[in-house]
Amino acid sequence: MNTTELPKNQHGALARCSYQSPLGPMTLAARGGNVCGIWFDGQKHQPDLSLWPIDDAHPVLLRARAQLERYFAGQSKSFDLPLDLQSGTPFQQSVWAALLAVPAEKTLSYGQLASTIGKPAAVRAVGAAVGRNPVSIVVPCHRIVGSNGALTGYAGGIARKAALLKLESV
């Protein structure tokens, strides 16, 4: 579906809402009954969602907000949300699926993640896919670090990456 097409029914095809996180304002997006985006406002690779209707009562967005609230309050380190990750290429989708398997309180290097998906030589491509993750925090791209453990490359900013890892006690 083209992002300029508007839904024909309530809680239908496209919806977005704002969420004020402790790390700054965020935009949450849904396609149908699935979360398809969570971005810190202004982060790299955030699409223009201005034509997507605002729906503060969308059920899956309400559920995402509640789970983010628990996460930021330190009450939960995991999420249970239906996701729509179709916006990526098959390679990106494989990287994002691998990210979902990285548990809280653990980090992997970009090289380790590349090996996880069976593409050990594709470290740069894996890094690019991680950077284009459309569902920040829930798909935990912040848990991927440089080979020496350095905090590198987070579309929402390195300070936020450090704060998220601290929140998770990494």
Question: What are the residue numbers of the active site?
Answer: 141
Spatial contact of 121 and 114, defined as CB atoms under 8 Å apart: yes
Rounded to an integer, what distance in angstroms lies between the CA atom of residue 46 and that of residue 68?
Answer: 19
Rounded to an integer, what distance in angstroms lies between the CA atom of residue 28 and that of residue 137?
Answer: 11
Number of CB atoms found within 10 A of residue 133's CB: 27
Number of CB atoms found within 10 A of residue 24's CB: 14
Q: Whose structure tokens read 């809402």?
A: 17
Question: What does the block give as tokens for 52?
Answer: 């997507």
Spatial contact of 21 and 68, defined as CB atoms under 8 Å apart: yes
Rounded to an integer, what distance in angstroms lies between the CA atom of residue 33 and that of residue 60?
Answer: 6
Give the type of residue at 107: T
